Structure 1
Amino acid sequence: MSRNRKAKWADPAFTVVANWRHITLHPASPVMTLTWSNLADGWKQRWDFSGEYEHLEANPKRKKLETPRRLSWRECARIQTFDAKFTPIGDTESKFTQIGNAVPPKLAEAIFTHLFSGAGLVAQKVPGARKGA
């Protein structure tokens, strides 16, 4: 895992991205700390898991993951408002790509409902146009 890409338990999730390597850590995973960085020589950074679980500070009864992990493609799909029965095709990488590149269904529904209802239409006067033409 290359980065500490993790939202706090009660905070909004980060954007679901199409690159499976950059998916957010599960909020019950331990905190990652930067242990090494050498950007000058072209190397990136090294992040390691600590023994700290920041989500337990707010509520010690919350579960913690002993084995850290990123969100699954199914968890990402639910965050994106896909139905629980939705299953994208292909391998795991392809599933993350499809989910991350998709317009969330509930967002599309809100936009298209508004457009198709005509509620967002505004009559425009065109200079020089004749009525009924």
Structure 2
Amino acid sequence: MITQLPDDFRFSGPSMELCTLTVRVADLADRFRFTLVHWGDQLGPATAMLVKLESGRDAALTEFRYAIERHGMKGPVVEVEAQDVAAVGVAALVDDVLGALRLSREDTDWIAPAENKARALDLLHWWAQTSWDDMHPRSEQRE
């Protein structure tokens, strides 16, 4: 069963865009009786829904009003953990998201390329190195 994550949820590592949907995030929230997170920035209002999929993986569905009004987006961007993309690949993760949301491939506007699995591995490697190096400077950096 799909469940809602708390409003202050954060991914444990880097995230990646998985796909964009043609179904508005408010419609999905109504379908599952979830609440939406609202905020604004210099580009205007944004709305998100944070969910734990039936598989236990996390996803953020974020919709930006300027992207809908000015760039022709039809619905939210779905972001997932890069480690999940690296573990199972784009196609399996898209199926996971769509299945949990009771949607089909026809409800997507864009899907990340399959080679994003390799990009996810590179991103995780970079992130691990950066995080480690930031917290553990080399002796020559400490002086």
- Higher strand residue share: 2
- Higher helix residue share: 2
What TM-score results when the alignment is normalised by the length of structure 1?
0.29
Determine which structure has greater relative contact order: mean sequence separation of CA pairs < 8 Å that are 6+ residues apart, divided by chain length: 2
What TM-score results when the alignment is normalised by the length of structure 2?
0.28
